[in-house]
Amino acid sequence: MSKYERVVVTGGAGFLGQNVVNELKQRGYSNIVVPRSREYDLTEQQQVRKLLSDTRPQLVIHLAAVVGGIGANRENPGKYFYDNLMMGVMLIEESRRAGVDKIVSIGTICSYPKFTPVPFKEEDLWSGYPEETNAPYGLAKKMLLVQSQAYRDQYAFNGIYLMPVNLYGPGDNFDHASSHVIPALIRKCLEAKAANARTVELWGDGSPTREFLYVTDAARGIVTAAENYDGADPVNLGSGWEVTIKDLAEQIAKIVGFDGQIVWDATKPNGQPRRRLDTSKAERLFGFKAKTSLPEGLQETISWYQAQSPQLVSISK
């Protein structure tokens, strides 16, 4: 039986959001509202107030965000800061005023300092400034943690804050301009193979490490926390392992059957040097542990994208 009768999932039509909505449905939730931007502008206070008045949720899961890769962050620092900050601030404030039982704010590991000791522990969140290329986005999201804790202290309002690591999986954004690393690498390798190209050029030198969480695992973690965690502390959601971008690119190239050369453009930024989370708190506090391995997740993601792009060559078996 579902714990909350009415749920609003902002960003519920997006990549992560669709998976969260599916997870909620699998757990018996039937009254789930997914607000669309054409109906409610979540950066406007009156629009947020109207959303909550129209839907009267007991639980709000705030996934809506304006996001992108390194290039998109460099081109839109002001927009990424303003839109992400205002959406979260308005939702938390208006949810408190509307008597919402609980709000789940989804943060980002981009909030961590650039040189956070690895693995990233939640206690290190304030020990330095984020990596410069995505600092405006990361800081905007981190303010939602501050707000959630302040509102808990002053108003006894139940807001929790989760920080998923880089997500990937079927349904991800494969746009050249705004995609993250895994879909970008998959698309580049498949297009290079289809064109019989001998090289694929990638940003940086391949040395940074990243941790990735399969999207259905992330959705399970978010809903599990919504149902079972009511604490003030931020909580990482991740897989607990890391892979270099170089190794990741080679794995993807092998799966899709691209046997050309990967060329690294070291004049382009690497981003944060290393990312791997300490995921012990999520397991301890609400029993979350990732299930999907990277090879399994990559195969599923590539197969999905291949099905959407029949003009590209089929995956090598």
Helix axes 294-308, 245-256, angle to 10 degrees: 50
- Which residue in 224, 236, 19, 24 sits closest to 8, CA to CA? 24
C-alpha to C-alpha distance for 109 and 22, rounded to whole angstroms: 24
C-alpha to C-alpha distance for 192 and 198, rounded to whole angstroms: 7
3-state helix, strand, coil in the chain (%, to 5): 45, 15, 40
> What is the SS3 assignment for 143?
helix
> What is the SS3 assignment for 77?
helix
- Which residue in 174, 279, 274 sits closest to 217, CA to CA? 279
Per-residue pLDDT of the chain (317 residues; tens, 9 = 90+): 678 999 999 999 999 999 999 999 999 999 999 999 899 999 999 999 999 999 999 999 999 998 766 777 788 899 999 999 999 999 999 999 999 999 999 999 889 998 899 999 999 999 999 988 889 999 999 999 999 999 999 999 999 999 999 999 999 999 887 788 999 999 999 999 999 999 999 989 999 999 999 999 999 999 999 999 999 999 999 999 999 999 999 999 999 999 999 999 999 988 778 889 999 999 999 999 999 999 999 999 999 999 998 776 544 44
Catalytically active residues are 137
Is this structure's pTM higher than 0.85?
yes
Greatest alpha-carbon pair distance for the chain in Å reads 62
Q: What is the dihedral of CA 176, 181, 185, 188, to 10 degrees?
A: 10
- Which residue in 76, 74, 61 sits closest to 20, CA to CA? 61
DSSP-derived pairing of the beta strands 59-62 and 209-210: unpaired
> What is the SS3 assignment for 64?
coil
Strands (E), the chain: 7-10, 32-33, 59-62, 102-106, 159-164, 166-168, 199-203, 209-210, 212-214, 235-237, 243-244, 261-265
Domains of the chain in start order, with CATH, are: 7-168+212-237 (3.40.50.720)
> What is the SS3 assignment for 24?
helix
Decide: residue 268, CB within 10 A, 0-12 exposed, 13-18 middle, 19+ buried: middle
Cβ–Cβ < 8 Å for 184, 69: yes
Peptide bond into 170 cis (omega under 30): no
